[in-house]
Amino acid sequence: MKFVETRGTVLALGDVCDHCLGRQISLKYKGKPCEKIGAALRAAKKDADIAKNIRKKLKPYFSKDCPLCGGIFTRLEEFHPLIIEKMNEAQDFNSFLVGSRVPSTFKSAEDSLWQKIGSEYCEPLKRELNRVMGSWIEEQTGKKVDFSHPDANFLIDFERNRVELSLGPLFIYGRYKKYERGLPQTRWPCRECSGRGCKKCGGTGKQYLETVEELIAEPVLEKTGGKASSFHGSGREDMDARMLGTGRPFVLEIAEPLTRRLDLKQLEKEINERAAGKVGVSKLRFSDKDEVRLLKALRYEKTYDALIECAEPVTKKELSRLDLYFKGRQLMQRTPTRVLHRRADKVRKRRVISVKSKTVSEKEFRSVIKTESGTYIKELITGDEKRTRPSFSIILRKQCSCKELDVIGIHTLKPLFKGEKWER
Ligand SMILES: [Zn+2]
Ligand SMILES: [Zn+2]
């Protein structure tokens, strides 16, 4: 449809405002404000009477206000103080996004208009509102609209005349070490009461009083005034294993933080002091949701240090044969019996990269084992009733058990993002 006819059809609806007139073709003039396009279109002399004719034909309803927006654009300023109030509540957001809620009648008026004039160059009402209000906030604050990860979301409700604020999460990346055995990575609800709180858990609803997550998150929650935390680890070690070496990468997500202004060096120090002897963090920096996704998708090679006990004495010669045998060896690992209750029973192929063993006592030895991501180390040692093959027990021909296990290295395989190279 030609623009002149579009104009006719739109104006035939009634006292359409310049915003709404211009918006119907605004995608043709990107970057130009809709009201300017509308004013120009209205003033165009050519075929000016077409509008009148169509208006007669359609017998439209007339109203005082624009039938497409109800005159919203004349009262945007009424919302400015409401937005300022919410901006103060959001405190130090760096980026934001504006959304709009408009009466549904406007949506249907827009839809039926588009059926007549096509929607190739039309911008929806909400989009113009979001853009106009977004520019106003940018001017007021110097902060930028961010479509993917805004710190603050302002929802302007033009129906109820109010503004709602929701705060985007804050993400902090780091690496953690765990010095204490028996500490789970994340919170577990009490098995007795499923988290409601009972006698057994002393009303806490928790199966374990302390977790890596809470030891790290608590100081951050206090400092940010955030409502809740989620912990995204790049995998997890067994509860009874320590996490040493350079630590395990994680991203801590803080929901609805009141402030994002954090001195991360200071925070690191505080976490490490409060969790001394249990957990330590390093390399804290700000992060985002994309990195959480990456963290979950990446595969790592890992190095473990295991203290192993044999049912019978084991010789140095046997150990060096063991190391040689497992170098580059592929394993078939059926889901361990100890995790069968929560994981599907299937067989995985995993590769051992290297094993280096040394004698501790007649029946004990230590092995430094490097494997592909997702290898079950305890089962590699014990054999798990032949569910893992081959195993240390099978190759040594003596039943082996894992007395202590530490993760001593998590090696990222790919160079990463944001120009940063993850340490191997
Ligand atoms: Zn309008
Ligand atoms: Zn309980």
Residue 8's pLDDT is what? 79
List Cβ neighbours of 40 (8 Å cut-off, separation of 6 or more): 22
* Closest to 35 (Cα-Cα) out of 50, 47, 24: 24
The CA 126 to ligand 1 mean position distance, Å, reads: 11
Residue 370's pLDDT is what? 97
Residue with tokens 């009874």: 240
Percent of the chain with pLDDT over 70: 92
Write out the two tokens for 132: 């106009």
Q: How confident is the model at residue 367 (pLDDT cuts 50, 70, 90)?
A: very high
The CA 69 to ligand 1 mean position distance, Å, reads: 4
Task: State the ligand closest to the CA atom of 209.
Answer: 2
Task: State the ligand closest to the CA atom of 15.
Answer: 1
Residue 364's pLDDT is what? 97
Q: How confident is the model at residue 63 (pLDDT cuts 50, 70, 90)?
A: very low
Write out the two tokens for 305: 């240090």
Strands (E), 52-168: 95-101, 144-145, 152-157, 162-167
The CA 148 to ligand 2 mean position distance, Å, reads: 39
Measured from the Cβ of residue 133, the count of other Cβ atoms closer than 10 Å reads: 21
* Closest to 126 (Cα-Cα) out of 153, 100, 105: 100
Percent of the chain with pLDDT over 90: 61
Residue 99's pLDDT is what? 96
Strands (E), 201-287: 228-233, 242-255, 279-287
Catalytic residues: 238
The CA 183 to ligand 2 mean position distance, Å, reads: 18
Least confident range from 168-177, 185-194, 214-223: namely 185-194
Report residue 74 CA to chain centroid gap.
39
State the DSSP code for 206: B
Mean pLDDT of the chain: 88
pLDDT for 216-238, tens place per residue? 999 999 999 999 999 999 889 99
pLDDT for 398-416, tens place per residue? 999 999 999 999 987 554 5
d(CA 37, CA 245): 63
Task: State the ligand closest to the CA atom of 189.
Answer: 2
Least confident range from 27-31, 163-167, 187-191, 306-310: namely 27-31
Residues less than 5 Å from ion ligand 2, measured at CB: 190, 192-193, 198, 200-201
Task: State the ligand closest to the CA atom of 205.
Answer: 2
Helix (H, G, I), strand (E, B) or coil at 354: strand
Predicted TM-score (pTM) of the model is 0.78
Residue 417's pLDDT is what? 47
pLDDT for 95-132, tens place per residue? 999 999 999 889 888 998 888 888 888 899 999 999 99
Q: Is the pLDDT of residue 343 over 50?
A: yes
The CA 66 to ligand 1 mean position distance, Å, reads: 5
Write out the two tokens for 315: 């010789």
The CA 72 to ligand 1 mean position distance, Å, reads: 7
Q: Is the pLDDT of residue 4 over 80?
A: no
More confident residue, 61 or 107: 107
Dihedral class, residue 255 (left if φ above 0, else alpha if ψ from -120 to 50, else beta): beta
